[in-house]
Chain A
Amino acid sequence: MLTPSSLKLRLVITSMLWVIFALFIVWHLLTWLFQGHIEARFDDRLNDQVAEMVAASESDGQGGVHLTWEPTDPRYVLPRSGWYWQISEGDRIIVSSRSLWTDRLDLSDPQKAAQSNALLISGPNNISLRALSRAIQLPGVEGPLSYIVAGPLSDIEADVQEFSGDARLVLMALGVLLLIIIALQIGYGLKPLRNLHLSLSQIRAGKSHLMEGDFPGEVEPVVTELNALLDYNAGLLERARTQAGNLAHALKNPLLIIQNEALGIKGQRGQLIHDQLRSVNTIINHQLSKARLAGTTNLIGAQTSVSSVVADLVYSLKILYQDRGLELNQAGLENLVFKGDQQDLEELLGNLIDNACKWAGGRINITGELQNDPDGKRCVVLTIEDDGPGIPADELRAVLERGHRLDEQTPGSGIGLNVARDIVELYGGTLDLEKSIMGGLSVRLTLPSA
C-alpha cells in the first residue's frame, strides 16, 4: 500500500529526486565536455586553414603578398556561407574569400586576436562567427599580415544541440531504468516488513498465535519482542485463570467443611451460619468468574465458534439435567463467530442456558443470527428462551441487579445472570430480558462478531 507515510513511497520519492538530479548534472557535464571537444575540433580546422593559407602566401616581390592558390572548399566560395577567410595588413584587406563578398571581417580587439585562442566575432548579417587570427611576418613582405579564418558558430551550436538532445534521450532512458530497478530493489528490500505485516494480520485474524517465518536480522528483534508480548499476554490470562482455580480450590474446601459441620448446629444459629456461608460462596463465585474473564484486553486474534461452544454446553446440560428430559433446540448458530475468548463465551452461555434449563418446562430454544448494530458493525445476536414460568415484567429489571435471586430454591439464578451481564458489558454487547412467546424468559444477547 502506498500511503503518504509508506516507507516504500518515501524511498521511491527520494530516489527519484536524486536520480533526476544526478542525471541532470551528468547531462550538463556531458554537453559541456562535448561542446569543448567540438570547439577544439573546430579550432583545429580553422588553424589548419590558416596554416594552409600561410603556406600559400608568397611575396609578390614588391613588399606585397599574393596567394599561389586559394582554398578550394566550396564553403569559402558560396556567398554568405558563414565560412570566411581574410588576409589583411593593418586596415587594408589584401585578399579575402569570395564568400565574404564585399564585407570584411573585423576583429573588435586586435590585441586579443593576436593570442592563439579563437574568439567570437560578428560577421556579415550579424551572424556570430568563431574566428582564428594569426599575425604573420612573411619574408619579403613589409608589415605583419593578419590572417583570419572564421566559421559559423551555429555549426557548433547545432552539433552541441544535437548531441545534447541525444544525450538527454539516453539519460532519460537510463533514469527510467534506474527508477524501475530502484523500485524493485526497495520492494525486495522491504519484503520482510510486508511479511511482518502479513504475519500480524494472520494473528489478528486468529489464524496464528505467534509470528512465524524467517525474518532478517534487522526485523528479527521486533518479531522476537512481539512474540514474547503475545506469549506474555496469553500467559497472563492462563496464570490468572490458574490462580482463580487454585483460589477456588483453597476457599471452597474449607467452606464446604464448615457448612457440613454447621449442619450439626440446630436452630437459628445454624441457619445464620448456613446463610452467611451461602452469601460468601456467592461472592467468591462472582469474583472468581470475573477474575477468569479475558475480555477485550486479550482480544488479539480471539475468535470463537458459537455453534461449537453451544454444542459443548448442550451436551453437558443434557447430562446434568438428564432426569428432566429437556429438549434443547438450536437454530441459526452455524457460521456465527464470536470475536472474543472461548472461555468467556462458555461462561456467558453456560450461565444463561443453565438458567433456562432450571426454569424450563421442557423446551429451550437457542437461536442465533448475524445482524448489523446501529453503528453498522456486524454482531452476533443470540436468543435463549424457555417455556418456563418466566419473570413478571416489573421484576425483569431487578433480576439483573447484583446478587438478586428470584427464587432462593433455585441456587445461583441471580449470580448466573450477573456474571452474564459482566461478560456482555466487557465486550460492549447488550443483554435484554423479555417475555418469550414460549411463555418463559427470553434472554437476547448482542455480541461482537468476528
Chain B
Amino acid sequence: MRILVVEDETEIARQVALALERLGYVVDVAHDGEQGHFLGDTETYDAIILDLGLPGMNGLSVLENWRNSGHKTPVMILSARSSWQEKVSGLRGGADDYLAKPFEMEELAARIEALIRRKSGNATAVIECGNARLDTAGSSISIHGEAVNLTAMEYRLAAYMMMNGDRVLSKSDLMDHIYGLNEDKDSNTIEVLINRLRKKFGSTFITTLRGQGYRIRDSDADA
C-alpha cells in the first residue's frame, strides 16, 4: 500500500507520513506541485494526498493534469480552504475526497483506507479470503479470529493482494505497491515475502502462476 503525500508544509507532510507509516503504508512525500505531479505521473500509488496551495504548480492543476493523462489513482485533497466553492471545484476537478485542515489523523487514515478499499472494489472494511480476514480500518489480518503477527512489509503485501481478490498480480506490480521511492528494490524480496506469508497463512494461500505472477487463493473457488 503505497501513498504519495504532496504537501508544501514540511511539518504537516512529516506528521501525515509518520501517521500513515505507522498504519503500514509506504509513503512518498513531495513538497511542491511539480515534483508531486512528476511522482504521481510516473510512479504507482494506491492513493494520493494532495494539498491545494502548492508552490510551483497549484494542486488543482496537478490533479487535472493527472486526470487528463488518464491516471485513476484515488486522490484526497487536503486544504486549508474550506469553502464549498473550493470543495466543489476540487471534486469536479477529479478528486475522490476533500478534507479541510485542520483534521484529526484518525479521520485522515479512515478516509484514505476507504479510498483505497473502494478503488479495489471492496465495499466493506473487512475483506475475507478463506480463513484470512483483513480489517483495513484496523490494519490487521487475522486467521480464525486470531491476529497474525506481520511485519510492515508483509502486511502491505498481504493486504494489497487480498484487496485485489483473484486478480493475478505481477512481481513488478507488487513491488510498485510495497516499496517507497527511496527504498532499494530487490525483486528477490517479493519471493522471500511470499514464502513468509505462505508459512504464516498456509501454503495454499498464494498461488504462483509461472511467468505471470501471483494470485491470492480465491476462497469462493476453493469452497
Q: Which residues of A approach B to under 8 Å, CB–CB? A: 245, 248-253, 255-257, 259-261, 263, 277, 281, 285, 288-289, 292, 312-313, 315-316, 319-320, 322-323, 342-343, 346-347, 349-351
Contacts and interface: CB of A to CB of B under 8 A. Distances in A.
A257 B92 contact: no
Contacts of A250: 80
A346 B87 CA distance: 10
Interface of B: 9, 11-12, 15, 19, 53, 80-88, 91-92, 95-98, 100-105, 114, 118
B80 A350 contact: no
A315 B90 CA distance: 11
A320 B96 CA distance: 7
A252 B85 contact: no
A323 B87 CA distance: 18
12 contacts: A248-B81, A252-B101, A257-B15, A260-B15, A260-B105, A315-B92, A319-B91, A319-B97, A342-B85, A343-B83, A346-B83, A351-B84
Max chain B CB contacts within 10 Å: which of A263, A319, A343? A319
Given A252-B101, A256-B103, A316 B81 contact: no
A346 B82 contact: no
B84 A350 contact: yes
Chain A interface helix/strand/loop/mixed = helix
B80 A320 contact: no
B118 A322 contact: yes
Given A257-B12, A319-B97, A249 B83 contact: no
Contacts of A351: 84
Given A248-B80, A249-B53, A289-B83, A320 B98 contact: yes
Contacts of A320: 87, 91, 97-98
B84 A281 contact: no
Contacts of A256: 12, 15, 101-103
A281 B91 contact: no
A277 B102 contact: yes
Nearest to B8: A253
A251 B104 CA distance: 16
A319 B81 CA distance: 18
Contact of B9 (A253, A259, A263, A323): A253
Contact of A343 (B19, B85, B101, B118): B85
Given A320-B91, A347-B85, A257 B11 contact: yes
A443 B22 CA distance: 43
Of A256, A261, A263, A343, most buried by chain B (CB within 10 Å of CB) is A256
A248 B91 contact: no
A289 B84 CA distance: 10
A251 B91 CA distance: 23
A292 B86 CA distance: 12
Nearest to B15: A260
Given A257-B11, A257-B15, A346 B88 contact: yes
A271 to B, nearest CB: 13
Given A253-B9, A256-B12, A256-B102, A347 B83 contact: yes
A347 B101 contact: no
Given A253-B9, A316-B92, A346 B84 contact: yes
A257 B97 contact: no
A413 to B, nearest CB: 15
A260 B105 CA distance: 8
Contacts of B81: 245, 248-249
Nearest to A285: B82
A133 B15 CA distance: 132
A5 B223 CA distance: 93
A263 B12 contact: no
| Most chain A CB inside 10 Å of its own CB: which residue of B80, B86, B96, B114 | B80
A255 B12 CA distance: 10
Contacts of B104: 259
A426 to B, nearest CB: 15
Contacts of A349: 84
A315 B91 contact: yes
